[in-house]
Amino acid sequence: MFGEFIRWIKANGYNSKVSTDPKVLAQTTILDLSGLHIRELPDSIGAFCNLSILKLSNNRLDTLPSSIKELKALRNLQCENNLLTSIPPQIKELQNLIILNLNGNRLTTLPTELFELTKLTRLTVGTNFLTALPKEMKNLKKLLYFSCETNYIEEIPDVFELMHSLYFLDLSYNKISVLPKSLSKIAELETLLLEGNRLESLPSLSNHDMLIKLNLSNNQIIKLDIEGLEDLQILNLDNNNLTALPEEICSLSKLNYLSLSGNRVERLPECIGNLENLIELDVEENRLKELPPSFEKLKKLKNLYVQNNFLSKEQIPQLPSLEFCDLLV
Amino acid sequence: MDFKAQEIELKIICECGNTTIKEAIEIFQETTLPYKKAKKLVTKCNKTCCRRPLMALFNMVEFGEIDYEQIGFLIEQKNER
Protein backbone atom coordinates (compact mmCIF):
# COMPACT_ATOMS: atom_id res chain seq x y z
CA MET A 1 0.00 0.00 0.00
CA PHE A 2 2.84 2.39 0.87
CA GLY A 3 5.40 0.79 -1.48
CA GLU A 4 5.35 3.57 -4.04
CA PHE A 5 5.49 6.28 -1.36
CA ILE A 6 8.44 4.59 0.37
CA ARG A 7 10.30 4.36 -2.95
CA TRP A 8 9.70 8.08 -3.47
CA ILE A 9 10.97 8.88 0.03
CA LYS A 10 14.14 6.86 -0.51
CA ALA A 11 14.76 8.13 -4.03
CA ASN A 12 14.65 11.73 -2.82
CA GLY A 13 16.61 11.16 0.37
CA TYR A 14 13.82 12.18 2.76
CA ASN A 15 14.48 9.13 4.98
CA SER A 16 15.84 11.26 7.81
CA LYS A 17 12.51 13.09 8.14
CA VAL A 18 9.97 10.45 7.17
CA SER A 19 9.76 6.82 8.23
CA THR A 20 10.02 4.12 5.58
CA ASP A 21 8.39 1.47 7.76
CA PRO A 22 5.01 0.53 6.21
CA LYS A 23 3.55 -0.28 9.63
CA VAL A 24 4.50 3.13 10.98
CA LEU A 25 3.18 4.87 7.87
CA ALA A 26 -0.14 3.02 8.10
CA GLN A 27 -0.70 4.50 11.55
CA THR A 28 0.63 7.93 10.73
CA THR A 29 -1.76 10.77 11.55
CA ILE A 30 0.75 13.63 11.17
CA LEU A 31 2.98 13.82 8.11
CA ASP A 32 5.55 16.62 8.03
CA LEU A 33 7.07 17.13 4.58
CA SER A 34 7.79 20.83 5.05
CA GLY A 35 11.04 22.45 3.92
CA LEU A 36 12.28 19.58 1.76
CA HIS A 37 12.40 21.44 -1.60
CA ILE A 38 9.75 19.09 -2.96
CA ARG A 39 8.68 19.99 -6.51
CA GLU A 40 6.04 17.34 -6.99
CA LEU A 41 4.02 15.26 -4.57
CA PRO A 42 3.46 11.63 -5.67
CA ASP A 43 -0.05 10.26 -6.23
CA SER A 44 0.79 7.73 -3.53
CA ILE A 45 0.17 10.43 -0.91
CA GLY A 46 -3.45 9.26 -1.23
CA ALA A 47 -2.53 6.09 0.68
CA PHE A 48 -2.52 7.97 4.01
CA CYS A 49 -6.18 7.45 4.76
CA ASN A 50 -5.69 8.06 8.51
CA LEU A 51 -3.82 11.31 8.09
CA SER A 52 -5.08 14.18 10.21
CA ILE A 53 -2.35 16.79 9.62
CA LEU A 54 -0.34 17.23 6.41
CA LYS A 55 2.46 19.79 6.43
CA LEU A 56 3.72 20.77 2.98
CA SER A 57 4.89 24.33 3.66
CA ASN A 58 8.17 25.77 2.34
CA ASN A 59 8.55 23.52 -0.67
CA ARG A 60 8.44 24.19 -4.42
CA LEU A 61 5.11 22.55 -5.23
CA ASP A 62 3.25 24.07 -8.17
CA THR A 63 0.30 21.73 -7.90
CA LEU A 64 -1.29 19.19 -5.56
CA PRO A 65 -2.13 15.73 -6.90
CA SER A 66 -5.82 14.94 -7.32
CA SER A 67 -5.22 11.86 -5.16
CA ILE A 68 -5.28 14.24 -2.22
CA LYS A 69 -9.02 13.58 -2.25
CA GLU A 70 -8.31 10.22 -0.62
CA LEU A 71 -7.19 11.89 2.61
CA LYS A 72 -10.69 11.73 4.02
CA ALA A 73 -9.57 12.12 7.64
CA LEU A 74 -7.47 15.24 6.99
CA ARG A 75 -8.24 18.11 9.34
CA ASN A 76 -5.28 20.41 8.81
CA LEU A 77 -3.51 21.09 5.49
CA GLN A 78 -0.52 23.42 5.51
CA CYS A 79 0.77 24.54 2.08
CA GLU A 80 2.34 27.92 2.88
CA ASN A 81 5.19 29.26 0.73
CA ASN A 82 5.02 27.01 -2.28
CA LEU A 83 4.51 27.82 -5.96
CA LEU A 84 0.93 26.58 -6.29
CA THR A 85 -0.86 28.06 -9.28
CA SER A 86 -4.06 26.10 -8.79
CA ILE A 87 -5.93 23.97 -6.30
CA PRO A 88 -7.45 20.73 -7.60
CA PRO A 89 -11.27 20.78 -7.48
CA GLN A 90 -11.06 17.38 -5.78
CA ILE A 91 -10.21 19.29 -2.62
CA LYS A 92 -13.95 19.33 -1.95
CA GLU A 93 -13.64 15.67 -0.93
CA LEU A 94 -11.72 16.68 2.19
CA GLN A 95 -14.92 17.17 4.14
CA ASN A 96 -13.19 16.96 7.53
CA LEU A 97 -10.80 19.79 6.81
CA ILE A 98 -10.97 22.54 9.42
CA ILE A 99 -7.66 24.36 8.77
CA LEU A 100 -6.33 25.26 5.32
CA ASN A 101 -3.24 27.40 4.85
CA LEU A 102 -2.45 28.49 1.29
CA ASN A 103 -0.46 31.64 2.13
CA GLY A 104 2.43 32.62 -0.11
CA ASN A 105 1.62 30.83 -3.36
CA ARG A 106 0.84 31.91 -6.92
CA LEU A 107 -2.89 31.41 -6.94
CA THR A 108 -4.87 33.69 -9.23
CA THR A 109 -8.24 32.12 -8.40
CA LEU A 110 -9.71 29.78 -5.85
CA PRO A 111 -11.90 26.92 -7.09
CA THR A 112 -15.54 27.20 -5.99
CA GLU A 113 -15.20 23.60 -4.77
CA LEU A 114 -12.97 24.87 -1.99
CA PHE A 115 -15.99 26.63 -0.53
CA GLU A 116 -17.80 23.31 -0.16
CA LEU A 117 -15.49 22.60 2.77
CA THR A 118 -18.09 23.80 5.23
CA LYS A 119 -16.24 22.62 8.34
CA LEU A 120 -13.40 25.07 7.71
CA THR A 121 -12.73 27.28 10.70
CA ARG A 122 -9.42 28.73 9.58
CA LEU A 123 -8.62 29.73 6.00
CA THR A 124 -5.56 31.72 4.96
CA VAL A 125 -4.90 32.66 1.34
CA GLY A 126 -2.62 35.67 1.86
CA THR A 127 0.21 36.69 -0.49
CA ASN A 128 -1.16 35.21 -3.67
CA PHE A 129 -2.33 36.83 -6.90
CA LEU A 130 -6.05 36.69 -6.24
CA THR A 131 -8.19 39.37 -7.85
CA ALA A 132 -11.51 38.27 -6.39
CA LEU A 133 -13.18 36.05 -3.83
CA PRO A 134 -16.15 33.96 -4.99
CA LYS A 135 -19.60 34.61 -3.54
CA GLU A 136 -19.67 30.90 -2.56
CA MET A 137 -17.45 31.90 0.32
CA LYS A 138 -20.66 32.64 2.19
CA ASN A 139 -20.99 28.85 2.72
CA LEU A 140 -18.12 28.91 5.21
CA LYS A 141 -20.38 29.69 8.16
CA LYS A 142 -18.04 28.14 10.72
CA LEU A 143 -15.08 30.32 9.86
CA LEU A 144 -13.31 31.75 12.88
CA TYR A 145 -10.20 33.08 11.15
CA PHE A 146 -9.85 34.36 7.58
CA SER A 147 -6.94 36.10 5.91
CA CYS A 148 -6.56 37.16 2.30
CA GLU A 149 -3.91 39.83 2.90
CA THR A 150 -1.56 40.87 0.08
CA ASN A 151 -3.55 40.05 -2.99
CA TYR A 152 -5.08 42.19 -5.74
CA ILE A 153 -8.69 42.10 -4.61
CA GLU A 154 -10.72 45.22 -5.43
CA GLU A 155 -14.07 44.15 -4.13
CA ILE A 156 -15.00 41.89 -1.23
CA PRO A 157 -18.31 40.09 -1.89
CA ASP A 158 -21.10 40.34 0.66
CA VAL A 159 -20.38 36.99 2.27
CA PHE A 160 -20.19 37.64 6.00
CA GLU A 161 -23.92 37.63 6.81
CA LEU A 162 -23.85 34.20 8.47
CA MET A 163 -20.27 34.16 9.71
CA HIS A 164 -21.30 35.00 13.24
CA SER A 165 -18.25 33.42 14.88
CA LEU A 166 -15.52 35.00 12.77
CA TYR A 167 -13.14 36.65 15.23
CA PHE A 168 -10.16 37.43 12.96
CA LEU A 169 -10.43 39.08 9.54
CA ASP A 170 -7.39 40.26 7.61
CA LEU A 171 -8.08 42.03 4.32
CA SER A 172 -4.84 44.06 4.40
CA TYR A 173 -2.83 45.01 1.32
CA ASN A 174 -5.46 44.65 -1.34
CA LYS A 175 -7.13 47.28 -3.50
CA ILE A 176 -10.34 47.62 -1.56
CA SER A 177 -12.11 50.97 -1.65
CA VAL A 178 -15.50 49.90 -0.29
CA LEU A 179 -16.27 47.36 2.40
CA PRO A 180 -19.25 44.99 2.13
CA LYS A 181 -22.32 45.79 4.24
CA SER A 182 -22.39 42.32 5.75
CA LEU A 183 -19.16 43.12 7.57
CA SER A 184 -21.30 44.71 10.26
CA LYS A 185 -23.03 41.34 10.86
CA ILE A 186 -19.91 39.70 12.27
CA ALA A 187 -20.88 39.93 15.90
CA GLU A 188 -17.83 38.21 17.38
CA LEU A 189 -15.16 40.09 15.43
CA GLU A 190 -12.13 40.88 17.62
CA THR A 191 -9.46 41.71 15.03
CA LEU A 192 -10.10 43.65 11.82
CA LEU A 193 -7.06 44.39 9.66
CA LEU A 194 -7.63 46.68 6.68
CA GLU A 195 -4.12 48.08 6.31
CA GLY A 196 -2.85 49.10 2.86
CA ASN A 197 -6.09 49.47 0.94
CA ARG A 198 -7.86 52.37 -0.74
CA LEU A 199 -10.45 53.14 1.89
CA GLU A 200 -11.57 56.74 2.25
CA SER A 201 -14.29 56.01 4.77
CA LEU A 202 -15.69 53.11 6.74
CA PRO A 203 -19.14 51.71 7.29
CA SER A 204 -20.32 52.08 10.87
CA LEU A 205 -18.41 49.75 13.14
CA SER A 206 -20.82 50.27 16.02
CA ASN A 207 -22.01 46.63 15.88
CA HIS A 208 -18.47 45.45 16.56
CA ASP A 209 -18.54 46.07 20.27
CA MET A 210 -16.16 43.12 20.79
CA LEU A 211 -13.48 44.54 18.50
CA ILE A 212 -10.08 44.58 20.22
CA LYS A 213 -7.72 45.40 17.36
CA LEU A 214 -8.42 47.67 14.38
CA ASN A 215 -5.76 48.47 11.81
CA LEU A 216 -6.68 51.06 9.19
CA SER A 217 -3.16 52.26 8.40
CA ASN A 218 -2.04 53.11 4.89
CA ASN A 219 -5.43 54.02 3.48
CA GLN A 220 -6.87 57.37 2.43
CA ILE A 221 -9.15 57.91 5.39
CA ILE A 222 -10.30 61.47 5.93
CA LYS A 223 -12.94 60.96 8.59
CA LEU A 224 -13.31 58.40 11.30
CA ASP A 225 -16.40 56.88 12.95
CA ILE A 226 -15.37 54.85 15.96
CA GLU A 227 -18.49 55.00 18.06
CA GLY A 228 -19.38 51.91 20.05
CA LEU A 229 -15.95 50.26 20.01
CA GLU A 230 -15.86 50.04 23.78
CA ASP A 231 -13.48 47.03 23.92
CA LEU A 232 -10.92 48.42 21.49
CA GLN A 233 -7.34 48.10 22.76
CA ILE A 234 -5.25 48.64 19.63
CA LEU A 235 -6.01 51.30 17.00
CA ASN A 236 -3.66 51.95 14.11
CA LEU A 237 -4.39 54.88 11.80
CA ASP A 238 -0.89 55.51 10.40
CA ASN A 239 -0.47 57.06 6.97
CA ASN A 240 -3.97 58.31 6.23
CA ASN A 241 -5.35 61.73 5.42
CA LEU A 242 -6.68 62.62 8.85
CA THR A 243 -6.53 66.24 9.90
CA ALA A 244 -8.24 65.67 13.27
CA LEU A 245 -9.35 62.92 15.59
CA PRO A 246 -13.00 62.71 16.68
CA GLU A 247 -13.77 63.47 20.34
CA GLU A 248 -15.32 59.96 20.57
CA ILE A 249 -11.82 58.54 20.62
CA CYS A 250 -11.58 59.67 24.23
CA SER A 251 -14.32 57.21 25.19
CA LEU A 252 -12.15 54.22 24.22
CA SER A 253 -11.29 53.59 27.83
CA LYS A 254 -9.55 50.25 27.17
CA LEU A 255 -7.24 51.62 24.47
CA ASN A 256 -3.59 50.60 25.07
CA TYR A 257 -2.06 51.50 21.75
CA LEU A 258 -2.91 54.44 19.50
CA SER A 259 -0.92 55.13 16.38
CA LEU A 260 -1.58 57.89 13.89
CA SER A 261 1.82 58.72 12.46
CA GLY A 262 2.00 60.11 8.95
CA ASN A 263 -1.27 62.04 8.97
CA ARG A 264 -1.95 65.77 8.97
CA VAL A 265 -3.36 66.08 12.45
CA GLU A 266 -2.94 69.60 13.83
CA ARG A 267 -4.19 69.00 17.35
CA LEU A 268 -5.17 66.14 19.61
CA PRO A 269 -8.61 66.21 21.31
CA GLU A 270 -8.64 68.09 24.63
CA CYS A 271 -10.04 64.95 26.27
CA ILE A 272 -7.08 62.74 25.24
CA GLY A 273 -6.23 62.37 28.94
CA ASN A 274 -9.34 60.21 29.35
CA LEU A 275 -7.44 57.36 27.69
CA GLU A 276 -6.25 56.20 31.08
CA ASN A 277 -5.05 52.81 29.83
CA LEU A 278 -2.94 54.17 27.00
CA ILE A 279 0.55 52.61 27.04
CA GLU A 280 1.85 53.68 23.63
CA LEU A 281 1.08 56.76 21.54
CA ASP A 282 2.60 57.34 18.11
CA VAL A 283 1.85 60.73 16.56
CA GLU A 284 5.10 61.01 14.58
CA GLU A 285 4.96 63.00 11.33
CA ASN A 286 1.89 65.14 11.92
CA ARG A 287 1.39 68.86 12.34
CA LEU A 288 1.07 69.12 16.09
CA LYS A 289 2.17 72.39 17.63
CA GLU A 290 1.21 71.50 21.19
CA LEU A 291 -0.10 68.70 23.36
CA PRO A 292 -3.36 69.28 25.26
CA PRO A 293 -3.08 69.91 29.05
CA SER A 294 -4.97 66.68 29.79
CA PHE A 295 -1.96 64.80 28.34
CA GLU A 296 -0.56 64.76 31.87
CA LYS A 297 -3.38 62.44 32.89
CA LEU A 298 -1.98 59.60 30.74
CA LYS A 299 -0.60 57.86 33.81
CA LYS A 300 0.23 54.57 32.07
CA LEU A 301 1.95 56.01 28.99
CA LYS A 302 5.30 54.26 28.46
CA ASN A 303 6.22 54.90 24.83
CA LEU A 304 5.71 58.20 23.03
CA TYR A 305 6.67 58.93 19.43
CA VAL A 306 6.33 62.62 18.56
CA GLN A 307 9.18 63.38 16.15
CA ASN A 308 8.56 65.36 12.98
CA ASN A 309 5.86 67.63 14.36
CA PHE A 310 6.28 71.23 15.44
CA LEU A 311 6.94 70.24 19.04
CA SER A 312 9.99 70.96 21.17
CA LYS A 313 11.45 68.81 23.96
CA GLU A 314 10.19 71.29 26.52
CA GLN A 315 6.59 70.65 25.51
CA ILE A 316 6.75 66.98 26.49
CA PRO A 317 5.17 66.60 29.95
CA GLN A 318 7.19 64.76 32.55
CA LEU A 319 5.17 61.60 33.01
CA PRO A 320 6.53 59.23 35.67
CA SER A 321 5.45 56.22 33.59
CA LEU A 322 7.26 57.36 30.43
CA GLU A 323 10.10 54.99 29.48
CA PHE A 324 10.77 56.15 25.92
CA CYS A 325 10.16 59.33 23.96
CA ASP A 326 11.90 59.71 20.60
CA LEU A 327 12.24 63.46 21.10
CA LEU A 328 14.07 63.01 24.39
CA VAL A 329 16.66 60.46 23.20
CA MET B 1 27.63 29.94 8.13
CA ASP B 2 27.74 27.90 4.90
CA PHE B 3 28.61 29.25 1.46
CA LYS B 4 24.97 29.42 0.33
CA ALA B 5 23.96 31.46 3.37
CA GLN B 6 26.88 33.83 2.75
CA GLU B 7 25.68 34.29 -0.81
CA ILE B 8 22.07 34.96 0.24
CA GLU B 9 23.24 37.39 2.93
CA LEU B 10 24.44 39.78 0.23
CA LYS B 11 21.05 39.96 -1.48
CA ILE B 12 19.20 43.28 -1.38
CA ILE B 13 16.27 42.83 0.97
CA CYS B 14 14.52 46.04 -0.06
CA GLU B 15 14.98 48.49 -2.90
CA CYS B 16 14.04 51.29 -0.53
CA GLY B 17 17.29 51.91 1.30
CA ASN B 18 19.12 49.50 -1.05
CA THR B 19 20.02 47.45 2.00
CA THR B 20 21.43 43.92 2.00
CA ILE B 21 20.18 41.21 4.32
CA LYS B 22 23.48 41.44 6.19
CA GLU B 23 23.12 45.18 6.73
CA ALA B 24 19.47 44.81 7.77
CA ILE B 25 20.45 42.18 10.34
CA GLU B 26 23.03 44.55 11.83
CA ILE B 27 20.47 47.38 12.02
CA PHE B 28 17.88 45.16 13.68
CA GLN B 29 20.46 43.84 16.14
CA GLU B 30 21.52 47.32 17.16
CA THR B 31 18.08 48.78 17.81
CA THR B 32 15.56 48.22 20.56
CA LEU B 33 12.80 49.92 18.57
CA PRO B 34 9.67 47.97 17.60
CA TYR B 35 9.38 46.61 14.04
CA LYS B 36 7.45 49.58 12.67
CA LYS B 37 10.24 52.00 13.63
CA ALA B 38 13.18 49.64 13.11
CA LYS B 39 11.95 48.99 9.58
CA LYS B 40 12.34 52.69 8.77
CA LEU B 41 16.01 52.51 9.73
CA VAL B 42 16.48 49.83 7.07
CA THR B 43 14.36 51.26 4.26
CA LYS B 44 14.78 54.94 5.10
CA CYS B 45 11.20 55.47 4.00
CA ASN B 46 7.73 55.70 5.48
CA LYS B 47 6.12 53.12 3.18
CA THR B 48 5.13 49.60 4.15
CA CYS B 49 7.47 48.15 1.56
CA CYS B 50 9.13 44.71 1.62
CA ARG B 51 6.92 43.80 4.54
CA ARG B 52 7.08 40.00 4.42
CA PRO B 53 10.88 39.51 4.19
CA LEU B 54 11.63 42.41 6.53
CA MET B 55 9.16 41.35 9.18
CA ALA B 56 10.38 37.75 8.98
CA LEU B 57 13.99 38.90 9.31
CA PHE B 58 13.14 41.15 12.27
CA ASN B 59 11.46 38.23 14.04
CA MET B 60 14.39 35.92 13.26
CA VAL B 61 16.86 38.47 14.70
CA GLU B 62 14.73 38.69 17.84
CA PHE B 63 14.57 34.89 18.04
CA GLY B 64 18.34 34.65 17.53
CA GLU B 65 18.48 32.38 14.49
CA ILE B 66 18.38 33.43 10.83
CA ASP B 67 16.92 31.10 8.19
CA TYR B 68 18.68 32.59 5.15
CA GLU B 69 16.99 30.27 2.71
CA GLN B 70 13.56 31.34 3.95
CA ILE B 71 14.48 35.04 3.69
CA GLY B 72 15.81 34.43 0.18
CA PHE B 73 12.51 32.80 -0.77
CA LEU B 74 10.49 35.69 0.64
CA ILE B 75 12.59 38.21 -1.30
CA GLU B 76 12.02 36.26 -4.51
CA GLN B 77 8.31 36.08 -3.71
CA LYS B 78 8.20 39.86 -3.24
CA ASN B 79 10.17 40.54 -6.44
CA GLU B 80 7.70 38.48 -8.45
CA ARG B 81 4.80 40.73 -7.49
The CA-atom distances, in angstroms, between A281 and each of A314, A318, B53 are 18, 15, 26
The pLDDT tens digits of the residues spanning A152-198 come to: 999 999 999 999 999 999 999 999 999 998 998 898 999 999 999 99
The pLDDT tens digits of the residues spanning A269-325 come to: 999 999 999 999 999 999 999 999 999 999 999 999 999 999 999 999 999 999 999
Domain range for B19 is: 3-80
**Residue A104 and residue B46: Cβ atoms within 8 Å?**
no
Instruction: Give the pLDDT confidence score for residue A208 in this predicted structure.
Output: 85
Q: Quickly state the pLDDT bin for B81 (edges 50, 70, 90).
A: confident
Flag whether pLDDT at B38 surpasses 80. Answer: yes
The pLDDT tens digits of the residues spanning A48-58 come to: 999 999 999 99
- What are the start-end ranges of the H helices in chain A? 3-11, 22-27
Q: Quickly state the pLDDT bin for B40 (edges 50, 70, 90).
A: very high
- In B, which residues are within 8 Å of A127 by CB distance? 52, 77
- In B, which residues are within 8 Å of A196 by CB distance? 48
Instruction: Give the pLDDT confidence score for residue A307 in this predicted structure.
Output: 96
**Residue A104 and residue B37: Cβ atoms within 8 Å?**
no
The pLDDT tens digits of the residues spanning A78-128 come to: 999 999 999 999 999 999 999 999 999 999 999 999 999 999 999 999 999
User: Helix B51-63 to helix B21-30 angle, to the nearest 10 degrees?
Assistant: 50
Instruction: Give the pLDDT confidence score for residue A329 in this predicted structure.
Output: 82
Query: Does A196 reach chain B within 8 Å, measured CB to CB?
Result: yes
If one counts the domains in chain B, the total is 1
CA distance A269 to A248: 9
Instruction: Give the pLDDT confidence score for residue A202 in this predicted structure.
Output: 81
**Percent of all residues in chain A with a pLDDT value above 70, rounded to a whole number:** 100
Q: Are A48 and A31 in contact (CB under 8 A)?
A: yes
Instruction: Give the pLDDT confidence score for residue B47 in this predicted structure.
Output: 84
Residues of B in CB contact (< 8 Å) with A are: 36-37, 46, 48, 51-52, 70, 73-74, 77, 80-81
**Residue A218 and residue B37: Cβ atoms within 8 Å?**
no
CA distance A276 to A219: 28
CA distance A166 to A284: 33
Flag whether pLDDT at A206 surpasses 90. Answer: no
